[in-house]
A and B are shown apart, each in its own frame.
Chain A
């Protein structure tokens, strides 16, 4: 049932990457402006779904050779170790550390361990969404 998707495909080529970049931006900025790992992850999956709609499962799998199930595991591991990491410093679970640093190019930036936790959330959300969509899409 594939028809000529030229317009969709051309637009997707540009859009998908803009969406992914934007999603990473709102993921990183989540602590200060709207966004965060959950929304960021969903938005990245949206971009991938867009790619799926414009092309097909095989092309996208070749483009992004990722096993999303492993991605879920990695995300969970990152989040869980951030949660447990505070034990090493004799602090209660989920205690975050943050401070301001002067980084080259970026200037004064706030770095926060919550971002690590959020990175886990980000990865899990992408992994879950894409695992579900891929599995259902593949089973014809």
Chain B
């Protein structure tokens, strides 16, 4: 355990304390207790910058499950550090913002900050783990905390829907990814990412390479909301706005991008990798920005905008992989795509974070996020307006903001595709710059909508719930900081190039960086195609923005029934119906039917195995002589069991059953097993008492089922069970594959465990873990019975869920 491990685990530790703090210190907003941690972590990770800048990495190891090759290895390199700084940096700002966004009187702050901290720790774990299994564990943890945060206002139906949708899609992808990891382990024999990268060449030859690649990509695409899996992200906007800013824009949805970047050194040689990532990315960029214009909810616009920007970064990573196929490293023009991806990742976090916080302010101060109701807010909230302009113009790719620079580099990357002659790119490559350009036009349009539909136009006070006014100072701090970063990174982009971008790019394509490699980001590149593309975007964008009402019809060209959301809903509905159907098929509600299933399965599986393995053997060599007492007891048991069948009253049959049980315990006495005898006696006593208690609840005996077939069936089944048990018991006695373990226990129970009663020593010491889990199961069963009986009268409460 090192300090680095502790840094990753510290959010989890604080998460334990948060509910206690919330419960006992109600006068202070719980957020203040949380705020310190991300700030400290940010400073802590900031110190690593000097190391990664020089190309060094920091690795710490902690053996977790050594027998399964799973060790909690953490590893800080350029890429991981970039994400760690984003997570803690944006995290600090979001926590600060949330303190003013969520009122301490109304909200369940304890749960909110617990979930948020869970997420923060899990995300740090994802980006800093070297072991794939550890990475996967943290990955699913992020899905889980995202689920909890989306469903934070769980009384809303939409929140629950969105939470379930995101959970189903991302966890499904996560499971696929786990499959990919396992395939990687089969190929490389290790879960360590660094070791796998070391064997990248031999992995490429392996037949499982492509399946592993596809599965890993499925995980990345679902997490990063790539088309067609993007449908969960807009519904995730039901979460409180600070959460949307943090999870669903700046960090969690970028986990997929992180994964692609992290796995690039392993997979990027492959043409499938390049094609899939680049084409899915560009399709997502286009579809996301196209759909964003349609939205009327501000958060909906930002959600689709996030989808499209994620697609942009994804496509850059895909195109960047092409650099591996060209030799000239020093002047490798294709590197620009990867550089742009990293740069835009940072920029997107800043401007999208700003915009989400602005939307949160608008929602908070006016009570609505619907752009049809908003307008003219410029006069009421000038500071918010300024921040919004900075964020939106950066998103649209206008100078002098950072979005302009990365957008230009994005165009460069896409135009470069035209010069590529690998993997059929010369035939289809033209689509990339074209789609990129069209997507950027729509990006421009919705950026303008965000600013001018809300802050420009006419003020409509009658449609608003409250009179708008400027947000409180506390809520403005975080967006102002982010907006200043937008400007600072826009004017001095080379602040980032040496410190963050170069080390991160070095982790994504390490093989190319043996020689000198420097990133320099400049404003002016001369009259290049990119410049004209930008000018075109602005010109056509303005034209389209002004004429939105005229061409909005195109959005309704595709019938609603064909949308991906409908497909998802139908699938869920179908799955639910199918499972209900399957369940109804055999769940009759009668325990006797279930017993029939259990016993039938028992007879068939055991009988078949016995027959198939030819295991039945009768060996009377090693048997003790049958004494008089045993014969008498056996006869009593037989008489008792047969008599139960003919008894008319249930009370009598319970007593007979008890008698049979007590007689069995006498057997234990005869065979000198006092512990068993004791236990059997008491168990019998208690079960008779239980039977008597249940007496009232049982249906009347022998009233309903008098039919002959029913009786015959039961007779056959009971006969079958009896015969099988007898056969197995006899065979078990006759087949001795191993020596009995009894002598080991007899020898060691006093020597090793200091006890003379072997039975008890086995229970509490040798096989103590078994006992531990058995009592756990017992406890669960008891709580289950308690809730089944106590809660069944509270039906009809479903309506309360939506209160």
Residues of A within 8 A of B (CB): 26, 30-39, 42-43, 45-46, 49, 52-53, 68-69, 72-73, 75-76, 79-80, 83, 93-94, 96, 98, 110, 112, 114, 117-118, 120-121, 124-125, 127-129, 131-133, 135-137, 139-140
Are the C-beta atoms of B776 and A31 separated by less than 8 Å? no
Interface check B463, CB cutoff 8 A: no
CA–CA, A19 and B221, complex, Å: 65
**Considering the complex, which residues of chain B in the window 654-705 have a beta carbon less than 8 Å from any beta carbon of chain A?**
674-675, 678-679, 682-683, 685-686, 689-690, 693-694, 696-697
Residues of B within 8 A of A137 (CB): 693
Residues of B within 8 A of A33 (CB): 756-757
Are the C-beta atoms of A93 and B775 separated by less than 8 Å? no
CA–CA, A140 and B695, complex, Å: 11
Are the C-beta atoms of A43 and B693 separated by less than 8 Å? no
Given contacts A34-B757, A131-B786, 20 further A-B contacts (CB under 8 A): A30-B764, A31-B761, A31-B764, A34-B675, A34-B678, A36-B763, A42-B679, A42-B682, A42-B686, A49-B689, A69-B782, A69-B786, A80-B772, A93-B769, A117-B768, A117-B772, A127-B782, A128-B779, A135-B789, A136-B785
CA–CA, A61 and B40, complex, Å: 53
Q: Which of A32, A37, A76 contacts B779 (CB 8 A)?
A: A76
Q: Mark B764-782, 1 if CB is under 8 A from A, else 0.
A: 1100110110011011011
Are the C-beta atoms of B763 and A38 separated by less than 8 Å? yes
CA–CA, A34 and B678, complex, Å: 8
Are the C-beta atoms of A140 and B779 separated by less than 8 Å? no
Are the C-beta atoms of B690 and A30 separated by less than 8 Å? no
B723 to chain A, nearest CB (A): 32
Residues of B within 8 A of A52 (CB): 689
A58 to chain B, nearest CB (A): 15
CA–CA, A43 and B760, complex, Å: 16
Residues of B within 8 A of A129 (CB): 686
Q: Which of B689, B775, B785 contacts A124 (CB 8 A)?
A: B775
Given A76-B779, A128-B778: A110 and B754 interface contact (C-beta under 8 Å)? yes
CA–CA, A9 and B676, complex, Å: 30
Query: Closest 9 A-B residue pairs measured CB to CB?
Result: A31-B755, A36-B760, A34-B674, A128-B782, A124-B775, A98-B754, A131-B782, A42-B682, A30-B760
Are the C-beta atoms of B757 and A36 separated by less than 8 Å? yes
A56 to chain B, nearest CB (A): 12
Range for the number of chain B residues in contact with chain A = 35 or more
Are the C-beta atoms of B675 and A35 separated by less than 8 Å? yes
Interface check B550, CB cutoff 8 A: no
A125 to chain B, nearest CB (A): 7
Interface check B584, CB cutoff 8 A: no
**SS class of chain A's interface: helix, strand, loop or mixed?**
helix
Are the C-beta atoms of A136 and B782 separated by less than 8 Å? no
Residues of B within 8 A of A117 (CB): 764, 768, 771-772
Are the C-beta atoms of B764 and A37 separated by less than 8 Å? yes
Q: Which of A39, A121, A140 contacts B679 (CB 8 A)?
A: A39
Are the C-beta atoms of B693 and A124 separated by less than 8 Å? no
Interface check B783, CB cutoff 8 A: yes
A54 to chain B, nearest CB (A): 12
CA–CA, A31 and B760, complex, Å: 6
Are the C-beta atoms of A76 and B682 separated by less than 8 Å? no
A42 to chain B, nearest CB (A): 4
Interface check B753, CB cutoff 8 A: yes
Are the C-beta atoms of B753 and A120 separated by less than 8 Å? no
CB-nearest residue of chain B to A116: B764
Q: Write 28 A-B pairs (CB below 8 A) sorted by A numbering.
A: A30-B760, A31-B754, A31-B760, A34-B675, A35-B675, A36-B760, A42-B682, A46-B682, A46-B686, A72-B778, A75-B779, A76-B776, A79-B771, A79-B772, A96-B754, A96-B764, A98-B754, A114-B764, A117-B772, A118-B764, A125-B778, A128-B778, A129-B686, A131-B786, A133-B693, A135-B785, A136-B697, A136-B789
Q: Which of B754, B771, B781, B789 contacts A139 (CB 8 A)?
A: B789
CA–CA, A117 and B753, complex, Å: 14
B696 to chain A, nearest CB (A): 7
Residues of B within 8 A of A42 (CB): 679, 682-683, 686
Are the C-beta atoms of A72 and B771 separated by less than 8 Å? no
B108 to chain A, nearest CB (A): 24
Interface check B790, CB cutoff 8 A: yes
Q: Which of A46, A69, A94, A125 contacts B783 (CB 8 A)?
A: A69
Are the C-beta atoms of B686 and A83 separated by less than 8 Å? no
CA–CA, A78 and B790, complex, Å: 27
Given A127-B779, A131-B785, A136-B693: A121 and B754 interface contact (C-beta under 8 Å)? no
Are the C-beta atoms of A124 and B682 separated by less than 8 Å? no
B197 to chain A, nearest CB (A): 35
Residues of B within 8 A of A (CB): 674-675, 678-679, 682-683, 685-686, 689-690, 693-694, 696-697, 753-757, 759-761, 763-765, 768-769, 771-772, 775-776, 778-779, 781-783, 785-786, 789-790
CA–CA, A96 and B749, complex, Å: 12
CB-nearest residue of chain B to A83: B772
Residue from B682, B769, B785, B786 whose CB has the most chain A CB atoms within 10 Å: B682
CB-nearest residue of chain A to B685: A46
Are the C-beta atoms of B757 and A132 separated by less than 8 Å? no
Are the C-beta atoms of B678 and A35 separated by less than 8 Å? yes
Are the C-beta atoms of B782 and A72 separated by less than 8 Å? yes
Are the C-beta atoms of A136 and B772 separated by less than 8 Å? no
Are the C-beta atoms of A132 and B755 separated by less than 8 Å? no
Residues of A within 8 A of B786 (CB): 69, 131-132, 135
Residues of A within 8 A of B764 (CB): 30-31, 36-37, 96, 114, 117-118, 121
Residues of B within 8 A of A38 (CB): 679, 763
CA–CA, A52 and B697, complex, Å: 18
CA–CA, A38 and B770, complex, Å: 13
Are the C-beta atoms of A94 and B682 separated by less than 8 Å? no
CA–CA, A69 and B783, complex, Å: 7
CA–CA, A72 and B790, complex, Å: 17
Residue from B675, B694, B789 whose CB has the most chain A CB atoms within 10 Å: B675
Are the C-beta atoms of B790 and A135 separated by less than 8 Å? yes
CA–CA, A133 and B685, complex, Å: 13
A16 to chain B, nearest CB (A): 13
Are the C-beta atoms of A30 and B686 separated by less than 8 Å? no
Q: Which of A34, A120, A139 contacts B775 (CB 8 A)?
A: A120
Residues of A within 8 A of B759 (CB): 34, 36
Residues of A within 8 A of B763 (CB): 36-38, 121
Are the C-beta atoms of A133 and B675 separated by less than 8 Å? no
Are the C-beta atoms of B790 and A136 separated by less than 8 Å? no
CA–CA, A40 and B764, complex, Å: 14
Are the C-beta atoms of A79 and B775 separated by less than 8 Å? yes
CA–CA, A45 and B686, complex, Å: 8
CA–CA, A98 and B686, complex, Å: 33
CB-nearest residue of chain A to B775: A124
B174 to chain A, nearest CB (A): 29
Residues of A within 8 A of B696 (CB): 140
Q: Which of A43, A46, A75, A136 contacts B694 (CB 8 A)?
A: A136
B619 to chain A, nearest CB (A): 32
Are the C-beta atoms of B782 and A132 separated by less than 8 Å? yes
Are the C-beta atoms of A132 and B765 separated by less than 8 Å? no
Given A31-B760, A133-B690: A112 and B755 interface contact (C-beta under 8 Å)? yes
Residues of B within 8 A of A112 (CB): 754-755
Residues of B within 8 A of A127 (CB): 779, 782
CA–CA, A135 and B763, complex, Å: 29
Are the C-beta atoms of A39 and B754 separated by less than 8 Å? no
CB-nearest residue of chain A to B790: A135
CA–CA, A93 and B790, complex, Å: 37
B753 to chain A, nearest CB (A): 7
A48 to chain B, nearest CB (A): 10
A60 to chain B, nearest CB (A): 13
CB-nearest residue of chain A to B783: A69
Are the C-beta atoms of B686 and A49 separated by less than 8 Å? yes
Given A127-B782, A135-B790: A114 and B775 interface contact (C-beta under 8 Å)? no
CA–CA, A128 and B696, complex, Å: 21
CA–CA, A22 and B782, complex, Å: 25
Residues of B within 8 A of A30 (CB): 757, 760, 764
